[in-house]
Chain A
Amino acid sequence: MDLLGNLWIGLETALTPYNLLYCLVGVFFGTAVGVLPGLGPVATIAMLLPITFGLPPESALIMLAGIYYGAQYGGSTTAILVNLPGESSSVVTALDGYQMARQGNAGRALATAAIGSFIAGTLATIVIIFFAPPLASIALKFGPAEYFSLMVLGLIGSIVLARGSLLHALAMILLGLFLGLVGTDITSGSERYTFDLPKLADGIDFVIVAMGIFGVGEIIANLENESKRELITKRVTGLMPTREDWRRIRWPILRGTLLGSILGILPGGGAMLASFGAYSLEKKVSPNSAEFGKGAIEGVAAPEAANNAGAQTSFIPMLTLGIPSNPVMALMIGAMIIQGIQPGPSVMTDQPSLFWGLIVSMWVGNLMLLALNLPLIGLWVRMISIPYHFLFPMIVAFCSIGVFSLSNSTFDVYLMAIFGLLGYVFRKIDAEPAPLLLAFVLGPMMEEFLRRTLLLSRGDTTVFFTRPISAIMLGVAVILLIIVLLPSIRKKREEAFEEEAG
């Protein structure tokens, strides 16, 4: 295996001045987005997507990836200084980080979060380097049946993470798949659910759905109760962790990285599940577990390491299988398709510079984040103090312009308005919209794979269970469903989401 040669290709791609610049822009935007509560990476990436159309694919993906893992860094800053999660994955960081800040240790908490994230980011990059290629070569042997089952597994996996009842999550998936049907059927050429509108013949652009539901819809929800943010400290001093701190955070960071890396690879996984898992694990095994919730430095180090590791390893299924494990990855797949690249196992062999360049850029980006975050802390602190009522009108405007620029059509703008309203309604009835977006992206592919499978088997549906890999994946999906339904786990899951909401 030509690992070194591949890494060299990656370095060559990631280290061109042009791509370094885009990486920097990405992580800078990412940190800013992470710092600002009420603006998430999904909405931001959706807004910036139209701008990346003109870039070479490598630069576009390097920048978009930077936004995602950059946001994990930024989220912790807000969690520590304001006790508000800047990002959903930094909810648990607020528990101990904010307490540390109140005790005057904001600097050490911030540094711990940054260092933990950097170490996790570095190790997760290595995990990707070793795990992605073998997975891609297995995936090359997949037939349509395997792909269909894999997508089922991915969608079921996303449910485990969804807040609220299983029934709602399943219904959201169906709604998402259904929306994916709008447009022209590839095989028969007949238009479906287009109301004879020519603009709908090509289907609904997923950027419109993402911006409507995650951008506009979320803003309306945020405006329900506008809260004031209070900074705990205006000036942050004493950034370096002490020798004692180092001793205490060493293992939590490694444990968090390991757990985060595993949870990130799983379908439906990603940064949020990772940080929750790492925090509860650390609370159990730490010798200082009594301090948790009162400013334990381990309680900052472990979840921050885990969410960064999870954010990065969630690229593995996207890069090797072409399957998004969370809404951000769904957007990345969309970005690839727009660039004319068919996501899937062939990306690694057909586009080695893109594949390896993206991976190497993640490590470079983490280094930049470490360098950016601590010295620029003053800037981020000032950014947190930007009130939301200045921010959201700009986001709405950017969403409108961004959607218009997709195909220079006002029809898309109206469509986004509808999805914005829909996004708000979904939040009102406690239906988590993330599975909807995943299903929307996967829908057309799923139908195609189902059609091909059944064509090959002459209509025999048992092939899904007689082909071993497909059977295993469906089996895992069933087990996941059962696990979610088990009373004890169900209670735990509800508690975890309660904690997050509180």
Chain B
Amino acid sequence: MSLIRSPKDFWSGLIYLVAALFGLTIGSNYSMGRAGQMGPGYFPIILSSLLLMFGAVTLVRSFIVPGESVTRFALKPALLIIGSVVVFGLLVERAGFLVAMFASTLMSASASSEFRFEWRAILGLVLFVAAGALLFVKALGVPMPLIGPWFNPS
């Protein structure tokens, strides 16, 4: 048996502590002011100190009170879904909306265990991208180039 009796509390306590320390370190650069004349640093320091306290209590408790273990981190879906959002951001202004949406949706769809690379899925994807282009770019006028500068160098 390991020393940590409640892994969930352990990790969350750690997250709170890191956030609190981060808040305190950066927040200490801001002027505190006084209660009657709160400076920009006043509220952040109060919040970070409270969070520090909660983080410490949670962390200490994880060694004393037994609790649940953290279930396996779904690495593949997490990477693919987050990746697909990032890919959309990277491509939309460079390669254009059509390519960006096609690539990002294909990437997110592959996160499912049901995903099969076959012609019907691709056809559906093409239709979805076309519908998205009509709705968002044409009808709602979101300023995204359909074909980005990557493909028309002029």
Which A residues have a C-beta under 8 Å from some C-beta of B? 51, 165, 167-168, 170-171, 174-175, 177-178, 181, 185, 187-188, 190, 192-193, 216, 219-221, 223-224, 226, 387-390, 392-394, 396-397, 399-401, 404-405, 408, 410, 413-414, 416-417, 420-421, 424-425, 428-431, 447, 450-451, 454-455, 457-461
Contact = CB atoms under 8 A, between A and B. Distances in A.
Contacts of B27: 192-193
Nearest to B106: A393
A98 B3 CA distance: 44
Contact of B108 (A193, A393, A460): A393
Given A167-B57, A190-B40, A392-B112, A397 B105 contact: yes
B95 interface: no
Contacts of B48: 178
The listed residue with most B CB atoms (<10 A of its CB), out of A165, A187, A226, A393, is: A393
B77 A223 contact: yes
Among all A-B residue pairs, the 3 with the closest Cβ atoms: A459-B36, A413-B89, A459-B35
Contacts of B108: 392-393, 396-397
Contact of A400 (B16, B51, B55, B89): B89
Interface string B8-40: 110110011001000100110011001111111
Given A167-B57, A396-B108, A450 B89 contact: no
A220 B77 contact: yes
B153 interface: no
Contacts of B104: 396-397, 400
Given A192-B30, A413-B85, 9 more contacts: A181-B44, A220-B111, A389-B112, A389-B115, A393-B105, A396-B81, A414-B85, A421-B82, A428-B11
B90 interface: yes
Contacts of B47: 174, 177-178, 181
A451 B38 contact: yes
Contact of B132 (A174, A192, A401): A401
A392 B144 CA distance: 23
Contacts of B42: 451
Nearest to A417: B85
B68 interface: yes
A443 to B, nearest CB: 9
A431 B81 contact: no
Q: Main secondary structure on chain B at its contact with chain A?
A: helix
A248 B15 CA distance: 51
B147 interface: no
Interface of B: 8-9, 11-12, 15-16, 19, 23, 26-27, 30-31, 34-40, 42-44, 47-48, 50-51, 54-55, 57-58, 61, 68, 70-71, 73-74, 77-78, 81-82, 84-86, 88-90, 92-93, 101, 104-105, 108-109, 111-115, 124, 128, 132, 136, 140, 142-144
A174 B11 CA distance: 17
25 contacts: A167-B61, A171-B16, A175-B19, A181-B44, A185-B40, A187-B40, A188-B39, A192-B44, A219-B81, A223-B77, A389-B114, A392-B108, A392-B112, A400-B88, A401-B132, A404-B88, A408-B142, A410-B90, A417-B85, A425-B15, A429-B12, A447-B43, A454-B35, A454-B36, A460-B36
A410 B108 CA distance: 18
Given A216-B85, A428-B73, A226 B113 contact: yes
A224 B77 contact: yes
A13 to B, nearest CB: 25
Contacts of B34: 459
B42 to A, nearest CB: 8
A167 B54 contact: yes
Contacts of B113: 226
B16 A181 contact: no
A387 B109 CA distance: 12
